[in-house]
A and B are shown apart, each in its own frame.
Chain A
Amino acid sequence: MQRRDFLRVVGAGATVVAVYPSMIGGTLYADNGQLYKAYEKVQLVDGDGNPIKASSLEAEKTYVFNYPQVAVPCFLINLGEKAENEVKLKSEDGTEYIWSGAVGEDNSIVAYTAICPHQLTHTNKADSFMSYVPRKATTMAYKEGGVIICASHLSAFDPKRGANNLSGPAPQPLASIVLEHAKDDTLWAVAVLGQDKFHDYFKSFKSEFKEQFGGKRKAKKFVSFSVPTVAISEYTKEIIAY
């Protein structure tokens, strides 16, 4: 290969990766190079398999999907107001990272893992002690609504600022799901940003995974191509919030 051809190939490859970082797997770097892990790019679809359109999401309604593994619950929320950009967050071990912001026409659509970083309380098919409290609602976990709460030990997270931990014993923000909003208004999950605690999560709930997914191995399977995204009331039997 000529030196010029070699440079062309390298240049084209670098451009593709720069434009679509999710084209390659493994750990990539966020804006400041911290805690960004890319997984397979997966389209969010409804219960019938039709692509979810960002503009069709009801404001302040919580939707649930699983990403990057079939037993990892995530919230998708259209906050109904613009989220902040370039928010600096800090994980439990002190690593600082940048949450870039929301997607959608109004920069109001966010996604976070529904696993509390305190003691791994999470949304599952039987119940959800994690939930989003709309702005006009009240909660014991925080002085005002518009927050994601963990009802187990009353931690609150700010969805407008990368799910930063606002109050309660949670030692760090919720891990966020990096979304891509395509030109055709569809939504795609491409990566996880923040310290995710998946390792501890999969070690802690063997019986639940057996009951709900047929075993830990099946629960750890990575999602592929597309993932159903449904209202939280359809996903879980009971929502517990205080």
Chain B
Amino acid sequence: MKKIITTLLILCALSTDSYAAEQQERISDMKHMADGMGLIMNGLLYNYLDNINAGVKYIQEGVESIHQKGNLKTYLPEDTAYAHKFGEKSLRRIMEYSNELNEAMKAKDLDAALESASLLMRQCNSCHSRVRGW
């Protein structure tokens, strides 16, 4: 009996530990992307191209990091894991809008850049409101 209880306790501890690690990874990726969004906003407000480029880089690194984790089903919180296809689509859109932002800055088209940044922000919020709740 003692063995069974000990095994169960160990399994429980391992599972909690694994969940905490996954959550920590998710927080880290999201923070990296949020920092990127902050840099983009700052760059657009203060006309500072380096910040915009760095922001796009951060966001795309965040997307890449999520992709490297493998299956989005296990990456998302348990209660919203079923919406992994939605999450995948959100990541694709984030890549698209950040690439469009890059292109707009290269073309020195500020209006298009603002439009892309706004779509990028909307896409971030779209996923957050679904996965994390608002």
Contacts and interface: CB of A to CB of B under 8 A. Distances in A.
A129 interface: yes
Nearest to A169: B129
B89 A127 contact: yes
Interface residues of B, number: 14
A129 B89 CA distance: 10
B115 A129 contact: no
Given A152-B130, A153-B126, A153-B130, A207 B100 contact: yes
Given A206-B100, A207-B100, A240 B86 contact: yes
Given A119-B126, A203-B115, A204-B119, A151 B86 contact: yes
Interface string A147-173: 000011100000000000000010000
Interface in B38-86: 82-83, 85-86
B96 interface: yes
Contacts of B122: 119
> Secondary structure of the A side of the interface?
loop
Nearest to A203: B115
Contacts of A242: 82-83
A152 B86 contact: yes
Interface in A101-159: 119, 127, 129, 151-153
B110 to A, nearest CB: 16
A231 B73 CA distance: 29
Interface residues of A, number: 15
A152 B88 CA distance: 12
Contacts of A129: 86, 89
B102 interface: no
Interface in A189-242: 203-204, 206-208, 238, 240, 242
Interface in B75-115: 82-83, 85-86, 89, 96, 99-100, 115
A152 B99 CA distance: 23
A204 B126 CA distance: 14
A119 B124 CA distance: 12
Given A119-B122, A153-B126, A240 B115 contact: no
Contacts of A204: 119
A129 B88 CA distance: 12
A119 B130 CA distance: 12
A238 B85 CA distance: 10
B85 A240 contact: yes
Contacts of A238: 85
Given A152-B126, A153-B129, A207-B100, 9 more contacts: A119-B122, A119-B126, A151-B86, A152-B86, A169-B129, A204-B119, A206-B96, A206-B100, A207-B99
9 contacts: A127-B85, A127-B89, A151-B86, A152-B130, A153-B126, A169-B129, A206-B96, A206-B100, A240-B86
Interface of A: 119, 127, 129, 151-153, 169, 203-204, 206-208, 238, 240, 242
Interface of B: 82-83, 85-86, 89, 96, 99-100, 115, 119, 122, 126, 129-130
